[in-house]
Every structure is written in C-alpha cells, then in structure tokens.
Structure 1
Amino acid sequence: MRVHIATDHAAFELKNYLVARLTEAGHEVVDHGAETYEPLDDYPELVIPAAEAVSAESGIGIVLGGSGNGEQMAANKVKGIRAALAYNPELARLAREHNDANIVSLGGRMQSHEEAWEIVDTFLNTPFSGDERHARRVEQMRAYENQG
C-alpha cells in the first residue's frame, strides 16, 4: 500500500520510526517531511501537501504532531480528506469502518512509538464497512463539501 506521511518537529522521531516500520511491513512510503528536525517549523506547510497527495490519489495517509489536533484540522481543510485523530487502535478502526477516514492523525507526545504503530497498523488494515448507514453519512459530508 502507498502511504503518505508528514509531521512537524513535535513528532519527528515518531515519523522516522513509523517510516521504518511501514517500509518493513512492505508499504511504499511517501515522506512529505519534515526532513530535518526544525523546532520552529509549521505543521500546515507539511501536512497540507501530504493531504493533497492523499486526495489526488484517493489514497491513505498519516499526519503527526505534538497532539495531532492541529494536523488533523489542517488535513481536513483539503477537499476529499476525512482525517481522524486516533489515540488508540479502537478509534483508528472505527474511523476506517464507519467514516471511511483516509488520514489518521496521531500525537507524537501522546503514546509510545509501539502504541503509535498499533494505531497505524490497525488503521491501514481496516477497510470501510460499506454499511448503508455509514456510506450514506460519508456521502452527505461529500455532498456538503462539494456544494456547501
């Protein structure tokens, strides 16, 4: 699976860890940065291009920051993105099954690297259920996004 990933300084180490784990698991990783640790970088400049790539490819992605909140908000500004903040595997699973989320957002300061991997692995390996009620709700969001 092709996976887009981006972070700011606050989760730089976590991003590097996840890139290695994703690669080991056989995923093609597209790293949108940060490329180096820069304590004053701004997450929108890194997260938005990753979200645009996910949207353009109808793909899947991971955005990271200190809490994951701002990164989720930035990603959700991109048309076609349904980014979900997940701080445990259950939320990651539900985001995929019920909301057809295409980006998971994690806080680099919120869990261990191994716990983050469990969240990401769950997210990537959980399909959208396709249940009529969930599909209807996703379509309602898509319609609002397209028509206002």
Structure 2
Amino acid sequence: MRVHLGSDHAGLELKHHLATWLVEHGYEPVDHGPLSYDPDDDYPAFCLRAAEAVAAERAEGRDSLGVVIGGSGNGEQIAANKVVGVRAALAWSDETATLAREHNDATVLAVGGRLHPLDDMTRFVEIFLRTEFSGAERHARRIGQLADYERTHELPPLPASAEPPAGDA
C-alpha cells in the first residue's frame, strides 16, 4: 500500500521517522515534503499535495492512504479535507486512530508532532493503516451524505425528530 506523507517543519522529524518505519513494515511511502527544515514553510503546500495524491490514486482503485503531520495536526487536517474525495481525521489516541478508519473510512490521518511522543504517533499511524472500514450501514449512510454534499452542496434532510412542532416559530 502506498502512504502519502506531507508535513510542515514541526512534523518533519516524525515524517522522516515514518518514511523509514513504513518501508520496514512493507508500505511504500511517498514523501510530498518538506525535505529539509525551514521554520517559515507553509503546510498547505505539502499536505494538499499528499491529499491530492491519495484522492487520485483511490479514484483509480488503489488502496492508498495518507498521513499529514504538523505541530498540532489541526491545520494539516483542515488542508487535507479541502481536497475533494478526502476524509481526513485527527488522531490523538489509539481509539481516535481506530475510529477514523472503522467508522469514518478516513483516507488521511493527521497527527500533531509536538503533542505526543514519537512511539505514540507511530502507533496511531500503524493502527490507522491496519484498521479496515467496518462497512456498517449507519456509517456508510453518513459517509454517503457527506459525499453527496461535497458533490451537490445540498444539505441532507433533517430527521423528523429534528423538525419543530407545528405552530412553533
């Protein structure tokens, strides 16, 4: 499986570590940068490229995933989620890494290089890569609603339980 990597200067050390770890564990890492430390770099340049590569390869039927890394992972997750067809999730625990794939079928994982020890972040990535989407109907339905909105920009209908009673304004 190909794993596309993107980061900023705060995630550079983890990205280099992950590239080696991925090879050692049978994955094919693709590094979208940065390649060297620059405290003034901008994560969108690298994370958007990683996310676009994931989306393009998955559209071709490949089983590619991505990992984007920054100081907190928040900006990197936001950037990746701007790419049509990508679902990026921020992981800060084993459970969030699992649920990102199992419930949300996330295709990109974001992690914060300044928030966790290297071993923890590596484990989050490993869990993410090894976890399959459950395929449960409720999760597939929700992902379908998001994909429909991404395509049409039409909001999904509210469930009957969310409608105000007749006569209420």
What are the within-5 Å matches in structure 2 for residues 123-142 of structure 1? 123-142=128-147
Alpha-carbon distance, 1:143 to partner: 0.4
> Structure 2: how far apart are the matches of 1:108 and 1:46?
15
> Structure 2: how far apart are the matches of 1:79 and 1:62?
16
Per-residue displacement from partner, 1:100-137 (whole Å, max 9, x unpaired)? 00000000001111101110000000000000000000
Identity of aligned residues (%): 55
4+ residue runs of structure 1 moved beyond 3 angstroms? none
Which entry has the higher C-alpha Rg, 1 or 2? Answer: 2
Q: What is residue 61 of structure 2 aligned with on the other side?
A: none
Match for 2:109 among 104, 107, 110? 104
> Structure 2: how far apart are the matches of 1:51 and 1:38?
21
Match for 1:83 among 85, 88, 92? 88
Q: What is residue 15 of structure 1 aligned with on the other side?
A: 15
> Structure 2: how far apart are the matches of 1:84 and 1:29?
19
Per-residue displacement from partner, 1:16-70 (whole Å, max 9, x unpaired)? 1111111100100100011011110000011001100000011210000000000
For the residue of structure 1 that corresponds to 2:103, the secondary structure is helix
Alpha-carbon distance, 1:5 to partner: 0.4
Q: Which runs of 5+ in 1 are unaligned?
A: none
**Alignment partner of 1:62 is 2:67:** yes
Q: Which runs of 5+ in 2 are unaligned?
A: 59-63, 154-169
> Structure 2: how far apart are the matches of 1:21 and 1:110?
20
- TM-score normalized by structure 1? 0.99
- Matched positions, count: 148
**Alignment partner of 1:117 is 2:122:** yes
RCO comparison, higher one (Cα < 8 Å, 6+): 1
- TM-score normalized by structure 2? 0.87
> Structure 1: how far apart are the matches of 2:52 and 2:91?
20
